[in-house]
Structures are given as C-alpha cells and as structure tokens.
Amino acid sequence: MKNIEILAQEIRDAINAADSIQALDTIRVFAFGKKGIISEQLKSLSSMSSDMRKIAGPVLNSLKKQINGLLTERRKQLRKEIFSAEIAHAKIDVTLPVRQTPAERGRIHPISQVIDEIIAIFSDMRFTIAMGPDIETDYYNFTALNFPQRHPAREMHDTFFFNPDEKGACKLLRTHTSAAQIRTMRKQKPPIRIVIPGKTYRIDSDTTHSPMFHQVEGLVIDKTVTIANMMWVLEHFCKTFFEVPSVKMRFRPSFFPFTEPSMEVDIQCDRSKADIKFGKGKDWLEILGCGMVHPKVLRNCNLDSEEYQGFAWGMGIDRIAMLKYGMPDLRAFFDADIRWLEHYGFRPLDIPTLFDGLTS
C-alpha cells in the first residue's frame, strides 16, 4: 500500500505540473490506459486473497476517483487559461483602419473591364457576341479570309505555327479574331450582326506590342448595308467609349485582304500634354481598321455576293484601354503586379452600363 501512496503522489504532482491538454492526456493514459499503472493495479485485485482484496480494493477505487477528479479540474483550469490567452491575443486595436471587404479590396483587370464596356456599347446596338477557338487552321485564319499563299502574315516570323500533323497540315495560334467571322458566316444565315472579343497571338514584343494581346472585331452582313452604316456605327462607338459629346474621325484608304474597299480610321485628339484628350485638338491618332467585306470572303462562306454585302472592323482592346485610361506600357498588362492592378484596376461592382456611365 505504501507503493500505491507514493505512486498516487507522483501522479498528483504530474497533474499539477501539466501545462497543456496534450500533457494531461499523456498522464491520463499513463494512469488509466489499457496498460496504465492504476489499471494494472485494479486488474491485480482478482489474484489477491479475500482479506487483501478488502483492504486494497477501496484504496484503489478511491485513488481512481481522486485522480479522475484531479484530471477533470486541471483540464477545466487549462481550458480557461488557453481561452484567456486567446482573448488577450485577439484584442482589437480601435485605432487601426477598418479592414476592407473582399468586394472593396478586389480589382477587375482593365482588359476585362474594357471588354465589358465594348460589349455594353454594341449590345445596345443589338449586336450579339461571337467566339472562336484560339488554335485555328490555316484555312480559317488565312485562306478563307482571302490571304494569298505568299502573304507575309503566313511566314514563321509573324505567326506561331504548331508542328505539322500526320497529314502534313499545320495549325496555328490565331493572329486575329477574324477567323470567328468565317465560322459565324458558315453557321448562321444573314442578317448577321456580331462582335468578337478575344485573345490573339503574333511574334512581336515592345512597349506597345505583346506576343499575346486582345482584339475585338465586328461584322455586319445583310442585303442593304452600306459604308455609311459602318461609319455611323464606328463614330457612335468612339463617342460612347471615350465618353465625349462629339468626335471627328478620318477614314484613310488602306489595304486588307478580307475587305474591299479598306480603310484605317484616325480620331481627332489633343496630344500636347501627357494625357490624350479625344474630341478636340489638332492631332490625329489611328485606332482601328475597317472596310466592306470582300466578295471572295462572302463566297468562301457560301453566301451570294450579288445578294449580300457587309462591313467589318477590328481594333486592339489593349491599345484602346491604354489610350482611355493613360497606361504607358502594354507589357505591364501581363506582369501580374498587384500594385499596378490596385492602381489601374476597377472595383468588382463597377459594372459598365450606358445609362449609368461606362466609367463609374
């Protein structure tokens, strides 16, 4: 019995010294586990004589009850200490600024915002959105759009080509979203009125060019559309997008394989200071290319060029975003710099609408 008293005192001391719930659990297993010291003593009662059992039984059961009580009390005490420490650590400094919610802290990339602005403008003019794959065939990207076989755009120094397949055909990363025009005209009967935003790829990189960039193209096909309709659509877009009451545009003759006649469009602006101001000034800035759809392109899409005609245009989304919001370097669009995004980005709930203003 003397050994039991010594053991009981050691267990009590260990319980009082325990400084964590884990340490307390270790003591409990040591005392009452399947092979615990007190459990083994209780098992030994069956091998004792009747007289010894009458003496040792009450002592061991009393010890078991006492140790369990000490464990329970110490556990409660430790939990209070842990809770008090957490409360002390979690004190709020009322002098700190209020934390922003995710909706306030997050930012929409300028490219995503400008695409939404473009869609809002053309949706109001009853255009629908068309999409196409980033990986295209040579036929949809060049041949169907009336590119000659020896055209420079087909060369390796301009276009990202994949290795030829088992049939010798080469696929490529599309160099413009015009390929989606062909896909739409082959699937949908006129009248057609679409805009096509998306990624495009060319081998070029500097402050105003990137190997991957964004374009938006538009296409209208019907029986009676004219070049005057195209000029009105583009003028209305520029006034609405740059949020100016009026804009002066200059249409210059140019050449694109898929349009005839073809034109490049300049917009009047003032570049005398760091920021470009549209709708005034004596300077001109090229912003897009356009023209009437070439009859060969219509015929390549199984449309009668004697019955249908149309117009198309295309512009760089990255470029017009830089012009509108004063971003000097195109490469920063793809650097994933959170500081740049916090400066130029848009709040998630700043959804562009015509009735509330594109730029909130």
DSSP for 220-245 reads: EEESS--HHHHHHHHHHHHHHHHT-S
Residue pair 313/230 in contact (Cβ under 8 Å)? The answer is yes
Helix or strand or coil: residue 287?
A: strand
| Residue burial 206-232, b: 16+ Cβ < 10 Å; e: rest | eeeebeebbbbbbbbbeeebeeeebbe
Crossing angle between the packed helical segments 50-89 and 21-32, to the nearest 10 degrees: 170
Mean pLDDT across the chain: 85
What's the CA gap between 71 and 99, in Å, rounded?
42
Q: pLDDT tens digits, residue range 284-309?
A: 888 899 999 999 999 999 999 999 99
Q: Closest by alpha carbon to 143, among 306, 310, 257, 303? A: 257
Top pLDDT among 4 and 295 is at: 295
Q: Which two tokens stand for residue 292?
A: 């009437």
Predicted confidence band at 2 (pLDDT cuts at 50, 70, 90)?
very low
Residue pair 213/111 in contact (Cβ under 8 Å)? The answer is no
Segment 61-77 shows an average pLDDT of: 82
What pLDDT score was predicted for residue 208? 64
**H helix or E strand, kind and range, residue 88:** helix 50-89
pLDDT at 80 over 80: yes
What pLDDT score was predicted for residue 307? 94
Predicted confidence band at 34 (pLDDT cuts at 50, 70, 90)?
confident
Q: pLDDT tens digits, residue range 195-253?
A: 999 999 988 776 667 788 899 999 999 999 999 999 999 999 999 998 888 888 999 99
Segment 327-347 shows an average pLDDT of: 86
What's the CA gap between 87 and 287, in Å, rounded?
60
pLDDT at 313 over 50: yes
**H helix or E strand, kind and range, residue 182:** helix 178-187
Q: pLDDT tens digits, residue range 147-195?
A: 887 767 666 567 888 888 777 778 899 999 999 999 999 999 999 999 9
Q: Where are the domains of the chain?
A: 2-89, 108-344
Top pLDDT among 74 and 37 is at: 74
pLDDT at 360 over 60: no
Number of other residues whose CB lies within 10 A of the CB of residue 250: 13
Predicted confidence band at 359 (pLDDT cuts at 50, 70, 90)?
low
List of residues 6+ apart from 157 with CB closer than 8 A: 203
Q: Closest by alpha carbon to 243, among 349, 354, 345, 346? A: 354
**H helix or E strand, kind and range, residue 315:** strand 309-316
Segment 306-327 shows an average pLDDT of: 91
- The dihedral built from the CA positions of residue 106, 109, 110 and 114, taken in this order, carries a sign that is negative
What's the CA gap between 145 and 181, in Å, rounded?
9
What's the CA gap between 231 and 250, in Å, rounded?
10
Q: Highest mean pLDDT: which of 38-42, 44-48, 208-212, 252-256?
A: 252-256
What pLDDT score was predicted for residue 26? 83
Q: Closest by alpha carbon to 174, among 198, 150, 194, 149? A: 198
Looking up tokens 């120094």, which residue turns up? 157
Segment 116-132 shows an average pLDDT of: 93
Q: Which two tokens stand for residue 281?
A: 């000034």
What percentage of the chain carries pLDDT values higher than 90?
37
CATH of 108-344, one of 1.20.1050.10, 3.30.930.10, 2.60.40.10, 3.90.1150.10: 3.30.930.10
What pLDDT score was predicted for residue 296? 95
